[in-house]
Structure 1
Amino acid sequence: MSVHRSGTAHRSRALGHPVARLRAVGVLLLACSLLLVHPARAADVPARGSAYMGMGVVAHDGQGGLPTPGDATQTEGVDVSSHQGNVAWSTLWSSGVRWAYTKATEGTYYTNPYFAQQYNGSYNVGMIRGAYHFATPDTTGGAAQANYFVDHGGGWSRDGRTLPGALDIEWNPYGAACYGKTQSAMVTWIRDFLNQYRARTGRDAVIYTATSWWTQCTGNHAGFASGNPLWIARYASAVGTLPAGWDYYTMWQYTSSGPTVGDHDKFNGALDRVVALANG
């Protein structure tokens, strides 16, 4: 016991020495500088709500060339989110864009603050428009997110100008690629969302995904192809292999111009086919 007290007293006197204090301050400053140079890994994770369609496609599948011109008639479209702010829809219309999807919701915690300007603005210049939901299967169930989507802009009406809602299911920007779910659990989550969306709106939702993510996280499940139109994400000169079950794509997101400009898409058909999908 006496040795312990002596050692403690010695250390206390040593820390009281001016040189010791300067050394302690130096160590503290060095630690702070290291934290600034090497911030915590969590700082690299984007804020919840900031995800947008195709956010993980470039990182995982890369960015290739533009589509090769072919004989098939296709109709140009765009998809936007809060990153685009107030969109100049008349400019896009003049460039040949005829349909658009706007991010409405994410999880059960986020709504796009620019949704009204984007969703109604595209409609007002003459475009056929729709809304999409960025899925976060690790936060709440599929049915709950479908309800949130419908209640915050993802509904549908048979006016010939409103496309069915789209489920954006892709890489998780906030954590594990498959949101911590097994392939069978992911299929169940997606099914719950789609069933609830149909129950609320009478329409089958569009599925937006990338073949590589679909293969990794659903086991390349083929069970949705008969009812749900496919919106494939592939930034290359050709669509490439589609997920299992789908013989053709309805829409193709073929390039990402970055979050400030938006992504460009092609509808697999002339404008009358876009109208047909809107009418159901």
Structure 2
Amino acid sequence: MPLSDPGARGGFPRRRSPRTLRTLVGALAAALALLLAAPGPASADDDDPQAHPDFGSAFMGSTVLEHEGGNRTYVPPDVDPTATVEGVDVSSHQGNVAWSTLWNSGVRFAYVKATEGTGYRNPYFTQQYNGSYDIGMIRGAYHFALPNASSGAAQATYFATNGGGWSADGKTLPGVLDIEYNPYGSTCYGLSQSAMVDWIREFSDTYRAHTGRDVVIYTTTDWWTQCTGNNASFGATNPLWIARYASTPGTLPAGWGFWTFWQYTSTGPTVGDHNLFNGAMDRLQALANG
């Protein structure tokens, strides 16, 4: 019986021609080149900080000592205590706060972390926000900004609808935009100075649309200079919360002639970072009343 045709079904495999082999090798090489050239998964640091394993852990001032240094032990501020009001800021790191202890130590206002980006809410927010109110403090909420995660409008809306709102009850302070060094990646979140200014303005405008109040801006002079070009356009509308762990607040960012709040230490005598309001109690009450 004759052997089957080598090209027929059931016969010997057809021998590839040199041209066919060259074509296959070329195709494989091209496919490999495409795989090597294709971008890998986006870096959480650069593109999606909300995918970072530490997402949600940032808090007001969490990056300041690392980038700017300052007093690492408690140093009383060089101010007239009769012309200022003592306050704290807290986050999930403090857990359930003993507000009576803080009240008895002289603390009269508190800011509580509410949100971060558009995917984190402080699990202790209710105890901290309501607890400070119940003990008699004037309280407010803050948002940790992630400008490379989503738009300023999206984050302002998320904040305003998840604890960052304002009510004219005489006990609620306007919300705070905490914008500082990126804890998950590059200092300025990969944004140009002009893009950062636009992002902050969009956040501020959206927060005002939701609440009727101008958001307080928490930052440091060094970060503001690096990442906004020391933009001076917010000083006329947004109160400044300056962070500097020293006996004085130092040079302020452009546009602000005075500070409204000053975070002067990260190691206060009781829980939370400690802060001052620049004025007597009646002026803090006025800020709450709008």
Q: Which TM-score applies when normalising by structure 2?
A: 0.79
1:75 to 55, 63, 85: 85
**Aligned pair count?**
236
What SS is found at the alignment partner of 1:145?
helix
What SS is found at the alignment partner of 1:178?
coil
1:69 to partner: Cα distance = 3.9
1:154 to 164, 169, 189: 164
Instruction: Give the alignment of 1:67-216 within 5 angstroms.
Output: 67-70=77-80, 73-216=83-226
Unaligned stretches of 5+ residues in structure 1 = 1-41
Partner Cα distance (2:171, 2:161) in 1: 19
Partner Cα distance (2:76, 2:226) in 1: 25
Identity of aligned residues (%): 69
Task: Rate the CA distance shift 1:105–1:71 in 2: closer, same or farther, 3 A.
Answer: closer
Unaligned stretches of 5+ residues in structure 2 = 1-44, 46-51
1:71 to partner: Cα distance = 7.1
Matched, 1:250 2:260: yes
Bigger Rg, structure 1 or 2: 2
1:46 to partner: Cα distance = 6.0
What SS is found at the alignment partner of 1:252?
strand
**Alpha-carbon displacement from aligned partner over 1:121-169 (angstroms, at most 9, x marks no partner):** 0000000000000000010000000000011000000011000000000
Moved over 3 A (4+): 69-72
What SS is found at the alignment partner of 1:232?
strand
> Which residue of structure 1 aligns with residue 58 of structure 2?
51
Q: Which shifted more, 60-69 or 87-96?
A: 60-69
Q: Which TM-score applies when normalising by structure 1?
A: 0.82
Instruction: Give the alignment of 1:58-69 within 5 angstroms.
Output: 58-64=65-71, 65-69=75-79
Partner Cα distance (2:134, 2:253) in 1: 35
